[in-house]
Amino acid sequence: MEKERFLSVDWQSPDMNSGAVADQLPRPFLDLGWEQPVHHDAKFESAISSLVSSPSLNPSSGNGSVVVRELVGWLGSICDSGDISQTSCYSTPLNSPPKLTLPVLGHRQQGGGGLPMPGNEMADGQFTGFAANPGFVERAPRSSCFGAWSYGGLGDQSGLPEAGNLSRVPSSHSLKSAGALQMGVPDNGKDASKSNPERIETEMRSKLGGGMPPSSTSGRTMASGAANNVSKRKAASRGRGKEAPLSSSNVNSPTAAEDEHPDAKRCKPAKTNGADKDSVVKQETEQNIGASQKKGKENNAKPQEPPKDYIHVRARRGQATDSHSLAERVRREKIGKRMKLLQDLVPGCNKITGKAVMLDEIINYVQSLQRQVEFLSMKLATINPQLDFDLETLLQKNMHQEHEPLPQQVYPSEGTSTAFSYAQQHQGSPLQSAITNGLGVGQQPLCPFDGLADATSQLGSFWESDLQYVVRMGIGQSQGAEFFSQSLHAD
């Protein structure tokens, strides 16, 4: 029962306040929950007393009693049940620890320090027992007071930009209150010391960093619960009839992963009608501590923002998750891949880093190649005869048996091309090496042109297009045929 009273106290204070205290309460409690038990006792007591004694809390103490009763009853049920369903409100194991300390701290206050501060142990016990804020928020609609509190506490965007983000502990408010707690000063002393907040912030950060792994291990049950919850939420969001675009589905398949993967946020339409705050909190809790706080604040600032695009790309840690940035990242990755390919193609570009310089190199290389083609073509224009001879010689060596079968109406080149293709099939390497040598030396005789007739009809159309170009160049058909026949029959 002490637990409930503590919890009621926690709820009470936020209920009174518009929400500033509510956020302050969990955070210092969350942080302190990671500290050593002994450390907690004094801190909690002083903190709670200070908070309770704050003028903002006092006025509505009377009203709060009624609220408290309801809260107590509800919390008692939660405590007693302590089943996994409670853990479903945990989005990720990372976020559970911070929320767990909430009731623990509440404990402290009422018990007057009588209860041993379980610290993490109790936190573990209460992992399953107590619902974190998201869980509370879930049940908010059930009780008006809860709803008021939850929305006031978590949904107060104006008061605290990080209202809903319990995972982001190092916030100025929490630091302030934590500082107050640690120093045991009254509420008005929250802003007394700024030095403490920094210290506490670092402490919190280190604790959270260190605490996350243990929490993740201990919170496996919660992880499953969180997964269930998240999957439920996602199913609900999916059920809203949104279809992922084709491109995003392509991206999704390689990047699909579990929900409770701590290192990534899933880009999902988190904001749903009627569950905005809830989803806000959940999305916040899904974020890593250290993940884009800016993004989280963005989410907080507009809880009603339109649902995100179903691009299903894993947003990397510390990166934004809106559809535009994800598409941009995909595009940038594609461009990066292509640039790597080009880097391999262009010789001497291995050391170059940077797209601009690389592009310059590519441009230079293509330009140089084109200039080379022009130059070589000019050169080839002058060294005409030998080439013809070579070609004739090569063809002759292999054609001496096949002169007659070659049909004249069909372009002889087709026959030769057939032979080439045949050669490629049978003995690709010797011919290829000959070709790669520029056909300079006729040491590699072409393969015998076997089955010319068979392949001719097959490849006729293929070469037709090529020869058509030649035709368009001003060469008559008859001329071409005549030329080839000459080359073939010449000695």
Partner 1 sequence: MDSKGSACSNPNPNPTFGPSKLMLAFRFLRALSIVHRTTPASSPTCRGRRIERAAYASMAYSAGTSRAWSRAVLRRLHHRARRRAVAPRRLSTTAGNRAEALRRLVPGGAGMDYCTLLEETADYTKCLSMQVELMQGIVDSASSNGR
The interface with partner 1 within residues 192-231 (CB under 8 A) comprises none
Q: How far is the CB of 421 from partner 1 (least distance, A)?
A: 5
Nearer to partner 1, 65 or 437 (CB): 437
Nearer to partner 1, 1 or 341 (CB): 341
Q: How far is the CB of 394 from partner 1 (least distance, A)?
A: 9
- The correct pick among 191, 202, 240, 462 for binding partner 1 (CB under 8 A) is 462
| Contact status: 396 vs partner 1 (CB under 8 A) | no
Interface pattern 77-96 for partner 1 (x via CB under 8 A): --------------------
Nearer to partner 1, 236 or 345 (CB): 345
The region of 39-47, 257-265, 308-316, 471-479 touching partner 1 under the rule CB under 8 A is: 471-479
| Contact status: 345 vs partner 1 (CB under 8 A) | yes
Site for partner 1 in 360-389 (CB under 8 A): 360, 362-363, 365-367, 369-374, 376-388
Cβ–Cβ under 8 Å, residues 116 and 48:
no
| Contact status: 350 vs partner 1 (CB under 8 A) | no
Q: How far is the CB of 346 from partner 1 (least distance, A)?
A: 7
Q: How far is the CB of 455 from partner 1 (least distance, A)?
A: 9
Nearer to partner 1, 195 or 379 (CB): 379
| Contact status: 432 vs partner 1 (CB under 8 A) | yes
Q: Residue 177 to residues 51, 182, 183, 356: CA-CA distances in angstroms?
A: 9, 8, 10, 50
Q: How far is the CB of 392 from partner 1 (least distance, A)?
A: 9
Output the 3-class SS for the chain. Answer: CHHHHHHHHHHHHHHHCCCHHHHHCHHHHHHHHHCCHHHHHHHHHHHHHHHHHCCCCCCCHHHHHHHHHHHHHHHHHHHHHCCHHHHCCCCCCCCHHHHHHHHHHHHHHHHCCCCCCCCHHHHHHHHHHCCCHHHHHHCHHHCHHHHHHHHHHHCCCCCCCCCCCCCCCCCHHHHHHHHHHHHCCCHHHCCCCCHHHHHHHHHHHHHHHHHHHHHHHHCHHHHHHHHHHHHHHHHHHHHCCCCCCHHHHHHHHHHCCCCCCCCCECCCCCCCCCCHHHHHHHHHHHCCCCCCHHHHHHHHHCCCCCCCCCCCCCECCCCCCCHHHHHHHHHHHHHHHHHHHHHHHCCCCCCCCCHHHHHHHHHHHHHHHHHHHHHHHHHHHHCHHHHHHHHHHHHHHHHCCCCCCCCCCCCHHHHHHHHHHHHHHHCHHHHHHHHHCCCCCCCCCCCCCCCHHHHHHHHHHHHHHHHHHHHHCCCCHHHHHHHHHHHHHCC
Site for partner 1 in 324-343 (CB under 8 A): 331, 334-335, 338-339, 341-342
**Residue 355, class by beta-carbon neighbours within 10 Å (0-12 exposed, 13-18 middle, 19+ buried)?**
exposed
Q: How far is the CB of 462 from partner 1 (least distance, A)?
A: 5
Site for partner 1 in 31-60 (CB under 8 A): none
Residues 180, 185, 189, 194: what is their CA dihedral angle, to the nearest 10 degrees?
-40
The region of 61-69, 233-241, 318-326, 474-482 touching partner 1 under the rule CB under 8 A is: 474-482
Site for partner 1 in 400-419 (CB under 8 A): 413, 416-417
Distance of CA 489 to the CA centre of its chain: 68
Nearer to partner 1, 186 or 442 (CB): 442
| Contact status: 490 vs partner 1 (CB under 8 A) | no
| Contact status: 480 vs partner 1 (CB under 8 A) | yes
Q: How far is the CB of 338 from partner 1 (least distance, A)?
A: 4
Q: How far is the CB of 391 from partner 1 (least distance, A)?
A: 5
Nearer to partner 1, 148 or 471 (CB): 471
Q: How far is the CB of 437 from partner 1 (least distance, A)?
A: 6
| Contact status: 475 vs partner 1 (CB under 8 A) | yes
CA–CA dist 332, 315 (Å, integer) = 14
Nearer to partner 1, 202 or 458 (CB): 458
Binding-site size for partner 1 (CB under 8 A) equals: 71
- The correct pick among 390, 398, 453, 481 for binding partner 1 (CB under 8 A) is 390
Q: Residue 107 to residues 33, 35, 70, 116: CA-CA distances in angstroms?
A: 12, 16, 17, 10
Site for partner 1 in 438-457 (CB under 8 A): 438-441
The region of 135-143, 283-291, 402-410, 460-468 touching partner 1 under the rule CB under 8 A is: 460-468
Q: How far is the CB of 105 from partner 1 (least distance, A)?
A: 54
- The correct pick among 59, 427, 466, 490 for binding partner 1 (CB under 8 A) is 466
